[in-house]
Amino acid sequence: MTRTRTLAATALTGTTVAALAGALALAGLSGPATAGSVASRSAVDDDKVCVDYLATTGSGSGKIDVTGSVTSLTVSAPEGYVIDYYCVKSGSSSQGDGPRVVETTDPHPASVTLTYETTLKNGKTVFKDLSHYSLHYVPAAGTTPSEEPSGTPSEEPTETPSETPTETPSEEPTETPSETPTETPSEEPTETPSETPSEPGPVFATNPPATTGDGSFDWNWRYPDPTCTALTVPYPSNFPVDQTTDINVRVRFPDGSTRTFNWHANEGVQHTMSFQFAQHPDWPAGVTEYQVEWTQVGGSNYHFGESFHNAAIANPVDCVVTDGEVGPRAVTSLKGFSSERVVVAAGRRAASDRVLADALYSEPLTLQRRTARGWRTVSTVARNDGRAVVRYPRLRKAGQTVRFRLHAAGSGLATGETSKVLKVRVVRSRR
């Protein structure tokens, strides 16, 4: 038996609550599976690998392996279909990295960004390498991919044979065909469609419970940090079913405005759910950059973007949309630039530094010198495949201390970075 819940999505601007944007149906919360249906409805295969939904339900991607070190992967359903749930696996089940089945909110997305988050004991979220995944598809709202094959053949054969044979064989063969054909089609078609819809529903893997020392529910349970595309919440297996499912995500846009997007249902869930930001009815169209700065999950005292038990506040997730792909803005790194205090003789220059800059950053670096009017550019430093050689100017005046730093300007894809300061003391030359 499948239970359907309704999840309402609303948006808030600042502290003002906007009107309800509509109802979002969350299907697929299956009741207890019978012994005969476990094989076809199980979310995972022996709890070691994800089920091949294409083979078991006839509508899915199949089990697809991920090669290389990949922690985030955006995947899409075929045209006319959306993803209502999926399974993703990282490492070994014995190490807690086994298959994880995630339900998406309705309206279901045509694409999802797969990640495998783990929250460490210190509260830090770690994204692990993906091993494989399996997607389940359903027709998108307003599309009819499943009706085309059944509608076309059903009308052609009915008209042609119905008129020609009716008159001639009406007296002799009436008895023979009237009984034989009526029995066969009446039983076979009724059985087939009645069983098919009951098989695809997922059986969600059980998440660890959140308990205190005395065994009661721990309201301080933590969930992983949001990504640029979604907040994925692995609800504990002992999450109170009478606790409302209430999600708030506050996003800051380039013009300085903030909006809080809300998902709400009157009953709790006890499996993993993914709240896809772009699927919210009030998500602005054409946005190219934004920051996810705060989240709230009903039933947990932890809020991303706030101090929790005196811990440091997590930085906002800085996001950028490039060629339709959403991802975090790259954090520029500068490695190899010396920030130690050095001494050079007048008329000489400090030794060159070999620097490794983030490969996503494509603009030239600038070497800057501190003056009475602030930092001024001394020279530009070309990069070659992320590598650069910083050469300092010749310093002629003894008795001075000159300060240098290396600067990487930010861009649409990278945050930018400024190195620590190198202090160069100039002394008299010994002849």
The SS3 assignment for 278 reads helix
Mean pLDDT of 246-266: 91
Cβ–Cβ under 8 Å, residues 274 and 105: yes
Of the given ranges (33-37, 99-103, 248-252, 338-342), which has the lowest mean pLDDT?
A: 33-37
Residue limits of CATH 2.60.40.10 in the chain: 334-427
**pLDDT higher than threshold 50 for residue 15:** no
Cβ–Cβ under 8 Å, residues 199 and 171: no
Query: Which run of H or of E encompasses 186?
Result: helix 175-195
**pLDDT higher than threshold 60 for residue 157:** no
Ramachandran area for residue 14 (φ above 0: left; ψ -120 to 50: alpha; else beta): left
CATH T-level topology, domain 334-427: Immunoglobulin-like (2.60.40)
Q: For residue 218, with 0-12 CB atoms within 10 Å meaning exposed, 13-18 middle and 19 or more buried, which class applies? A: middle
Which of 253, 260, 230 lies closest to 83 in space, CA to CA?
230
Give CA–CA dist 67/50, Å, rounded: 16
Determine the pLDDT at residue 25.
34
Query: Which residues, at least 6 apart from 336, have a Cβ–Cβ distance to it below 8 Å?
Result: 353, 354, 355, 356
- Which whole-number Å values give the CA distances from 79 to 82, 137, 238, 277, in the listed order? 8, 11, 38, 21
Which of 242, 251, 334, 243 lies closest to 292 in space, CA to CA?
251
Give CA–CA dist 116/72, Å, rounded: 8
Mean pLDDT of 304-315: 87
Query: Which run of H or of E encompasses 24?
Result: strand 16-30
- Pick the more confident residue, 125 or 315: 315
